Amino acid sequence: MKLELHRVKVKKWAFGSATGFANATVTVNKEELTALLLQDERLAGIELHLAHPGDSIRILPVKDAIEPRCKLEGAGEVFPGYIGDVDTVGEGKTLVLDGAAILTTGRLVAPQEGIVDMKGPGADYTPFSQTANLVVYITPREGVVLHELENACRMVGLKTAHYVASSCKSAKADKVDSYDFPPLAEAMQAHPKLPKVAYVYMLQSQGLLHDTWVYGVDAKQILPTLISPTEIMDGAIISGNCVSACDKNNTYVHLNNPIIESLYKRHGKDINFVGTIITNENVTLADKKRSSSYAIKLAKMLGVEGLVISEEGFGNPDADLIMNCWKAERSGIKTVLITDEFAGRDGASQSLADSCPEGNACVTAGNANMLITLPPMDITIGDLPTAEVLAGGFFGSMNKDGSMDVEIQAILSATNELGFTRNGARTE
């Protein structure tokens, strides 16, 4: 499957009369977008805000981050199952507003966090302090059940991203990246001297606010399967996951999966990147056994010698990660795991809940319990944690001067387990 990503470099957002792109700026017609989003009666109100790198702005709790994309050529539309129909995507040409992001916010449930600071020490720990952000603050309608609200919020993010991108189709690409993933028969013959490698992509799938969707199908209900990286670049995988902010994969990082990027960069030089296997992280132990055995069986059927395995979340998914690891290693496939750590505020506790001796090659995105003090910001977009949440120690502590002491666990993508950031840890 061949896909070209036409990347248009975006520096700024602005509000104006017509939605479109000109000299590195995306202009948005506020009324038009608001009206489009309010067609969904589950929502009572929509507010649009702009946040650029360096602004004294704090956004929380951020529910999802999405990169504006739409198809230019090829079958279907981005975000199949939601915006596009359910037919296979991942071929042709896709427009990408590079450097821009849509951040949805609005508190669905009390214990929910996800901080993005556009400036200060907190900005170092989230990739979204470096993107120009259109922030959509959602006010749900009273009495709508949580399931429906969660779906409504997810749709707001995807509709906004698609609406903005499709209004900029005429923009000229600053950079075109092309990706080519041949059919398996061809892939297996290619680069005979290079080791065949695949990627096991674990998707959070535990239940409401902890879910991921593939072509609109809830990942809890899939058996592990093969997917082309180009389908992922067209939004085949989207996030409904609100917890925990530091290591949930929002839609933005699914679209821009850095592991696929790194594997593709070495494809044909050091490795033969033959496939991506998606699998889930369910709550029931039977599902964990079934999915980990099924995913590793697919890797054996592909005849790969090496696997990168990325986890999403911690605790419960540690069990799936460890099962995937030892099942692969014991069938002769070498693995590297990417995870994050919960080693306590003093960094002295056991980082992972589960372990196996076969896990001798690990990359980590750092210790999520590290405490950090975030100075006050001039503007806050979204909802501060309720007093009850703060009292219960669910979030961290607010100081009199308006600053906050929180663990980086509360910062969006701070310890992202796809290895999206340069964050990590070492033993001292």
Partner 1 sequence: MSTRLCLITNNSTLRACTIGNSSIDFSIQLLEGSPFDVLMGGRDLIHQGWRLLNHPLYGNFRPGQQAMRSLLLSFDSEKNNKATAPHQTKAVQEYYDEDSLNYIEQALQIYEPFSKLLPTIDAEKTLKSKLLADCALIDKELMHVTLKTSGINVPLNHMEE
Partner 2 sequence: MSYRVLHYINQFFAGIGGEEKADISPEIRDGLVGPGQALNPALNGEAEIIKTFICGDNYFANNIDAVCAQVVALVKEAKIDALIAGPAFNAGRYGTACGAVCAAVAKECNIPVITALYPENPGVDLYRKLIPIVESSDSARGMGKAVPAMASVILKFLKKEELCKSDHSCLMEKGIRINMFYDENGAERAVAMLVKKLKGEEFTTEYKMPVFDRVEPRPAVKDMSKATIAIVTSGGIVPKGNPDHIAASSAQNYGEYDFANVKDLLQNEYITAHGGYDQTYANEDPDRVLPVDVLRDIEKEGKIGKLHNKFYTTVGNGTAVANALAFGKEIGQKLRDANVQAVILTST
For residues 94 and 416, which CB has a smaller minimum distance to partner 2 in the complex?
A: 416
Is residue 386 part of the contact set for partner 1 (CB under 8 A)? yes
Residue 422 DSSP label: S
Q: ∠95-239-367 over CA atoms, to 5°?
A: 110
268: left (phi over 0), alpha (psi -120 to 50) or beta: left
Using CB under 8 A as the binding rule, whether residue 314 contacts partner 1 is answered as yes
Closest distance of CB 205 from partner 1, Å: 9
421 is an interface residue for partner 2 by CB under 8 A: yes
By CB under 8 A, residue 158 contacts partner 2 = no
Nearest to 222 by CA among 239, 248, 247, 202: 202
Q: CB under 8 A: which stretch of 26-34, 95-103, 159-167, 278-286 binds partner 1?
A: 278-286
Buried b (16+ CB within 10 A) or exposed e, 200-231: bbbbbbbeebbbbbbbeeebbebebeebbbbb
The option from partner 1, partner 2, none interacting with 184 (CB < 5 to 8 A, set by class) reads: none
| Distance, first Cα to last Cα, the chain | 46
162 binds, among partner 2, partner 1, none (CB under 5 to 8 A by kind): none
- Which entry of 153, 168, 242, 246 is annotated as an active-site residue? 242
CB nearer partner 2, residue 228 or residue 257: 257
Q: Does 120 bind partner 2 (CB under 8 A)?
A: no
Residue given tokens 């033969």 in the structure block: 272
In this chain, which of 250, 279, 367, 409 binds partner 2, going by CB under 8 A?
367
Beta carbons of 309 and 335 less than 8 angstroms apart: yes
Round the CA-based radius of gyration of the chain to a whole number and report it: 21
Q: Does 371 bind partner 2 (CB under 8 A)?
A: no
Report the alpha-carbon distance of residue 404 to residue 410 in Å, rounded.
11
Q: Cis before residue 61, ω within 30 degrees of 0?
A: yes
Instruction: Look at the block and give the residue holding tokens 């590297």.
Output: 336
Site for partner 1 contains 109 (CB under 8 A): yes
For position 409 contacting partner 1 by CB under 8 A, the verdict is: yes
Which of partner 1, partner 2, none does residue 86 bind (CB under 5 to 8 Å by kind)? Answer: none
Q: In this structure, which amino acid lies at residue 349?
A: S
How many other C-beta atoms lie within 10 A of the C-beta of residue 320?
27
Catalytic, 242? Answer yes
Choices 61-69, 173-181, 346-354, 388-396 (CB under 8 A): range interacting with partner 2:
346-354
Decide: helix, strand or coil at residue 35. helix
- Indicate whether 396 belongs to the interface with partner 2 (CB under 8 A): no
Given 33, 308, 404, 412, the residue binding partner 2 (CB under 8 A): 308
Q: How far apart are CA 134 and CA 364, in angstroms?
A: 30
Cβ neighbours of 399 (radius 10 Å): 13
What is the dihedral sign for C-alpha 39, 40, 44, 45?
Answer: negative
Chain residues binding partner 2 by CB under 8 A are 124, 195, 197, 257-259, 261-263, 265-266, 270-271, 305-308, 310, 334-339, 341, 343, 346-348, 350-352, 355-357, 359-367, 370, 408, 416-428
Positions marked catalytic: 242
Chain residues binding partner 1 by CB under 8 A are 109-111, 145-146, 204, 206-210, 220, 241, 243-244, 247-248, 282-288, 313-316, 318-319, 342, 344, 349-350, 353-354, 386, 388-389, 392-395, 409
